[in-house]
Amino acid sequence: MHKKGVTCLTGMMISHTVAIFASTSSDGIVLVWKMVLPSTAGVDCKVSCLESLSVGSKPMVALSLAELPGNTGTTEDLVLAMGGLDQKVHLYCSDQTGKFVRACELKGHTDWIRSLDFSSPVCLGSENKNLFLVSSSQDRSIRIWKMVSHVSSANSELPSKREDIGLTSYIEGPIFVIGSTCYQVSLESLLIGHEDWVYSVEWQPPLMLNGSEYRQPMSILSASMDKTMMIWRPERTTGIWINAVTVGELSHSALGFYGGHWAPDGESILAHGYGGSFHMWRNIGMDAENWQPQKVPSGHFASVSDVAWARSGEYLLSVSYDQTTRIFAPWRNEIWLGNKASWHEIARPQVHGHDINCVAIIQGTGNHRFVCGADEKVARVFEAPLSFLQTLNHANFQKSSCINDFPEGVQILGANMSALGLSQKPIYAHADSEAPSRLHNDMPDSLETIPDAVPTVLTEPPVEEKLAWHTLWPESHKLYGHGNELLSLCCDHEGKLVASSCKSQSATVAEIWLWLVGSWKAVGRLQSHSLTVTQMEFSHDDSFLLSVSRDRQFSVFSIKKSGEGASHQLIAKHEAHKRIIWACSWNPFGHEFATGSRDKTVKIWAIENGSSVKQLMTLPQFRDSVTALSWVGRDPACNAGLLAVGMDNGLIELWSLSGGRPATACGSELLPFSAVLAVRFDPFLCHISTVRRLAWRNFDDSDSRALQLASCGADHCVRVFEVHCR
């Protein structure tokens, strides 16, 4: 077994039941494995390590395995290519005993070798004497090596290197003998075109001709950190390899491609980028090639820290440590599984320079807005541009009430982001030329401006390039005041107050700030906790603010809003758990709330007479730390609802809660508060790491028996579950 992380795998089937594959790791060792597949169901496959190869002190990072020309379909006819940090391609061939022996070294690259790929020898023709190997490197070049086989005899001499006609016959290459066959390796072509490291090269898969014969197309796909993929083919008349197709991603946030792959039919190519994104192009041309970008799944590529639903549930907003804010929504005219609208990422409002920790959608009437906090001391407010509102109309088949909310003559179409700044500047339509310049002067952190984005109204789910570049939201305000990185945000249900907190190790820094929406003035600083406040939430009548902290305590503040501010008073503070409290959530129908902790417990509390708090019950201990809670109401008459509980192991449970209200309309006796486990989600549907946040979707008009629950986790995933209540 390897002692360090595996960096590359390659393999091939040598029969219907036997596979050979090789692995390499940063420990500098290459292992060759044999896998025997079972002939009957229910029997495990057998995997054995055939041998261990050590090429040198520098690790190998690229491998490729193929059958030698003239093979007979046994392990004695395999060739293994290795490339890595020593800038050489090492060829090892299996001998008569099945062991891999060193054949030769191919020199030419001047930097680390990143990718290797053999062509398919069984598809190159009936004579089957040639095998091609393509290699790519951080020296920005691609090299094609040609391996020619010659059957040797006792009286025959080594083949002359000048037997071929063409340029390659003059380029010296090594010669080696395996069994009775002699092989000559020469440089077929040197491909220059990429402007940065070439991370991946791959031959086009073999194509079937006439229903029985396979042929290897002479086409190579390369992917580079210069943000492009290229298809290379030999020119028909001269045979010189040329760049026939170039596709790429021109977004300011793109950092290049790590790999590229062909579709089996050769009509589509897929790239995966440094930023975790997929990019796909398909040849839609009839008489000539025409490669166009296609829709692909998208999502975060780091831990997702927070999610929030729009006020009417039109879309889901998520933020992540990948430094992006993303909006997902069902696209109504895209049907999935017969009757379900498919979900797509329809906008990427923020591409930031810091990990984003929290977000709050500003509720109430008016334009779509949100405020987010990252690993910086500033909270940032964003407002939806006109292009997004029109895109939302196409997704939902309904007219947004906010399209005409912009001041007359100042319509904001979208946003640009400076190359060296963190702010996103609005793009105006029908505005005075002074407006953009004035805004530019107000934000001196921009040292360089990149080419303007083109705000786009999307009539179909967007491709990656449009998402990363043309769907930004303008930043309208910055909220200064905290002394450390922002960690938690929440907004009241009227959309008038926003509460924020930051990481802290002292009571002074742990204070909660209240901001007045609109003027964005700080109207309150709430002090109660001594360590970081992990989550906050307003009660549904906005009369109380609940906060939980790493100091194992929760605090409840009464909030009274006035025209230009708000007053607050601490009414309760309890050390509620034995470990850190990670989560809290209010009952939508009353003043009961739940707290969840690292001590694996969830406790239900209630406010009495608006001035004190008592504990109603403790749910049975959970399997792991409780990290997320979300309470949704079902029946106000009996105060019934569902409490979603997310845990550190990624699992989610739903608990049915009810009680605490009079048994009859005129009675004074309260029903006992009860909790019953309603459903435990299938582990295969849940996260595989910590659940960071849970949020129930807000529906204006919907079937009361159908609910949707959004979750996000440290496994980089955002999930939406549909819950049908009986």
Helices (H), 420-496: 434-442, 464-470
Q: How far apart are CA 448 and CA 418, in angstroms?
A: 6
Using the CB atoms, write b or e for 223-233: b if 16+ within 10 Å. Answer: bbbbbbbbbbe
pLDDT at 397: 62
pLDDT at 126: 42
Q: How far apart are CA 376 and CA 6, in angstroms?
A: 35
CA distances from 277 to 390, 429, 457 (A): 25, 31, 22
Of 595, 589, 598, the closest CA to residue 572 belongs to 595
Count the Cβ atoms, other than its own, within 10 Å of residue 657. 25
pLDDT in tens, 679-694: 999 999 999 999 999 9
pTM of this structure: 0.83
Instruction: Output the CA angle 236-241-247, nearest 5 degrees.
Output: 105
CA distances from 54 to 32, 429, 516, 558 (A): 11, 64, 66, 69
Give me the amino acid identity at 191. L
Spell out, as residue ranges, where the chain has pLDDT lower than 50.
Answer: 73, 124-127, 160-170, 407, 409-410, 431-450, 664-667, 702
Q: How far apart are CA 15 and CA 121, in angstroms?
A: 16
Tokens of 560: 């009274």
CA distances from 513 to 15, 362, 501, 502, 580 (A): 68, 16, 7, 9, 21
**Within 13 Å and on the Cβ side, how many CA atoms surround 323?**
13
Q: Check: CB of residue 695 under 8 Å from CB of residue 710.
A: yes
In angstroms and rounded to an integer, the radius of gyration of the C-alpha atoms of the chain is 31
Instruction: Give strand pairing partners of 636.
Output: none
Tokens of 142: 């691609």
Tokens of 276: 């975790």
pLDDT at 641: 92
Find all residues with CB under 8 Å of 397, minimum gap 6, and list them. 332, 333
**Within 13 Å and on the Cβ side, how many CA atoms surround 144?**
23
